[in-house]
Amino acid sequence: MKVVLIHGKYFNSWEALGLAYIGAYLKANMENIEIDFYQGCFDSIDTIISGCRGADFVAFSCTTPTFPFALNVSSELKKIFPSIKTVVGGYHPSAAPNECQLDNIDHVIIGEGEAAMLDLLKASQEKVIMGRTMDFCELPWPDRELIKNERNIQVAYRDNKKRITSFQSHRGCPFMCKYCADGYFKVLYGSSKEAPVRYRSVGDLLDEMQHVAKEYKLDLMKFTDPTWNTNINWVKEFCKEKIRRNFSVPFYPNIHAGVCTEEMFQLMAEANCYEIAVGIESGSQKILDQIGKGTTVEKIKNSVMLAKKAKLLVRGYFILGMPEENEEDLMQTEKLAEELELDEYGFTILCPYPGTQMYDLEKFKSINWENADEYSNDFWSSNHVKNNRLKEWQTHFIQKFKKKLTWHNLAIDKHA
Ligand code: B12
């Protein structure tokens, strides 16, 4: 059987880790399977289509912005190879399965894709398939050769002068943030809102990291986990084991400010954590409470102070335009941003992607999601602040923190 896995077209220094897991799982559990991989930001549509010749299944990994690409390629494919079965999976199909049941899509998979893909290849004829949660002990390491990880590392090197790639340390998120598809609705887990958090064993994760760091000569390791420190004991165990192994390649995780201690940051620094990224979102306690962030302004201040004390670099992300946000809340965000004196700043405007509590199918029917995002968002307004005013605020923040912007905000600034 021939299967082709396709990752969307999106500027990308991040590898298609989800497809690398699926590819590895299929190879481990099926005999006589040939798997190819293409990624829209590196491979032309012609290359992808000719690579699909002879395929039984062509499966696309889709976020909302990359779903139109999948639709386009599958329509082209069906014209040339009508017998190929097309499959979509990932966050967009999981969040909006009904909107994905279209003419040129044969199967829609909701949730984690490894076991569901295997079932589909072996027998299932269902149009919509519900994936099951996977335990790390049944998952082989992601197949980085299959997904041509070196290409992504080269993009990272071009942009940062560092060879960087990412790892997954756990699945599921215990937080309930309303603006995140992994938070309030937990879209990979159906409507049950139950997302059992599964941690990888520290030993297995570090084995993979050491292997990949050596094989790909990494300078820095990132994590795909939207929040890396959901369990302080796990973090401490990871750091202690990394130190014990004398494994010195630096790492860079996303940190939730509500779950930090001085000891945790000190250990992270000792384990060679290079920088942390913190989703601060807002300086207004009212807004933090409304979005279900699970932390307080005081905890944010304290955690940033402790991280700096441990000599970690701190990047902070802020989201403007939460539903109940008003001018006063935005002023509080500005005050907090100044006070924290971060090393890097990112300022976005809320984007109500499917799977977030702010998504409204009727209201956002005409949005072209390929171009709409939180960095240059032309349509979202809070209940009190109109879109053009939110954009003024974003420009104001960008100007104010000009010397310390993340690359994505810098790119907008250059085009302004
Ligand atoms: C790391 C990350 C990124 C990286 C890129 C990751 C990549 N490889 O492309 C960066 C920082 C660049 C990024 C950018 C963006 N991201 Co992002 N990102 C994430 C994050 C934190 C982790 C994704 C990840 O790698 N997970 C680990 C891998 C192993 O799992 P996975 O990819 O989810 O794959 C599993 C399942 O989804 C499923 N699956 C995936 N593909 C397929 C395909 C098939 C056929 C099947 C059957 C199953 C399947 O099975 C996999 C294995 O179990 C998620 C949130 C999260 N908690 O996961 C948001 C998330 C996916 N991102 C999101 C968004 C919106 C974006 C951006 C649009 C933001 C922006 N404007 O910049 C872009 C779009 C990027 C894109 N490629 O489409 C949203 C998607 C919501 C939606 N409705 O689509 C998420 C859910 C966060 C959120 N805000 O809610 N992102």
The distance in angstroms from the start CA to the end CA of the chain is 49
Q: What is the pLDDT of residue 194?
A: 65
**Position 376 confidence tier, pLDDT thresholds 50, 70, 90:** confident
pLDDT tens-place string over residues 243-256: 999 999 999 999 99
H or E stretch including 20? helix 17-29
Q: Give the other-Cβ count within 10 Å of 341's Cβ.
A: 10
pLDDT tens-place string over residues 95-109: 999 999 999 999 999
The angle at the Cα of 330, spanning 327 to 331, to the nearest 5 degrees, equals 90
Q: What is the pLDDT of residue 303?
A: 98
Contact at 8 Å (CB) between 341 and 403?
Answer: no
How far apart CA 405 and CA 407 sit, in angstroms, is 6
Burial (CB count within 10 angstroms: exposed 0-12, middle 13-18, buried 19+), residue 104: middle
Question: Which residues are CB-neighbours of 39 under 8 A, at least 6 positions away?
Answer: 6, 7, 8, 12, 16, 147, 148, 151
**Position 412 confidence tier, pLDDT thresholds 50, 70, 90:** low
**Position 202 confidence tier, pLDDT thresholds 50, 70, 90:** very high
Q: Across-strand partners of 37?
A: 5
pLDDT tens-place string over residues 20-70: 999 999 999 999 999 999 999 999 999 999 999 999 999 999 999 999 999
Which amino acid type is present at position 293?
Answer: K
**Position 12 confidence tier, pLDDT thresholds 50, 70, 90:** confident
Ligand 1 pocket: which residues have CB below 6 Å? 8, 10, 12, 14-19, 21-22, 59, 61, 63-66, 87, 89-92, 95, 109, 112-114, 116-117, 168, 180-182, 188, 224, 226, 353-355, 373-375
Q: What is the pLDDT of residue 373?
A: 73
How far apart CA 277 and CA 154 sit, in angstroms, is 22
pLDDT tens-place string over residues 319-362: 999 999 999 999 999 999 999 999 999 999 999 999 999 998 88
**Position 413 confidence tier, pLDDT thresholds 50, 70, 90:** low
CA 131, chain centre distance (Å)? 19
Give the CATH fold of the 162-415 domain: TIM Barrel (3.20.20)
> Could you give the residue ranges of the DSSP H alpha helices within 200-270?
202-215, 232-244, 262-270
68-72, 91-95, 193-197, 311-315: least confident range: 193-197
Question: Strand 198-199 to strand 170-171: parallel, antiparallel, or no bridges (unpaired)?
Answer: antiparallel
Question: Which DSSP string do the residues of 45-96 spell out, in sequence order?
Answer: HHHHHHHTTT-SEEEEE--TTTHHHHHHHHHHHHHH-TT-EEEEESHHHHH-
The mean pLDDT value of the chain amounts to 94
**Position 364 confidence tier, pLDDT thresholds 50, 70, 90:** confident
pLDDT tens-place string over residues 188-201: 886 555 668 999 99
Q: Which numbered atom of ligand 1 lies nearest the CA of 129?
A: 47
Q: What is the pLDDT of residue 271?
A: 98
Closest protein CA for atom 44 of ligand 1: 89
96-100, 327-331, 382-386, 404-408: least confident range: 404-408
The superfamily (CATH) of domain 2-137 is Cobalamin-binding domain (3.40.50.280)
Order across the sheet with 275-281: list the strands: 254-255, 275-281, 313-320, 344-349
CA 117, chain centre distance (Å)? 21
**Please, what is the angle between helix 297-309 and helix 262-270, to 10°?**
40
Q: What is the pLDDT of residue 407?
A: 76
Look up the pTM and report it. Answer: 0.96
User: Residue 16 to residues 9, 10, 143, 148: CA-CA distances in angstroms?
Assistant: 11, 11, 10, 9
Q: What is the pLDDT of residue 82?
A: 96
If one residue of 69, 74, 91 were mutated to test the ligand 1 pocket, choosing by the most ligand atoms within 8 A of its CB, it would be 91
How far apart CA 337 and CA 326 sit, in angstroms, is 17
| Domain range list for the chain | 2-137, 162-415
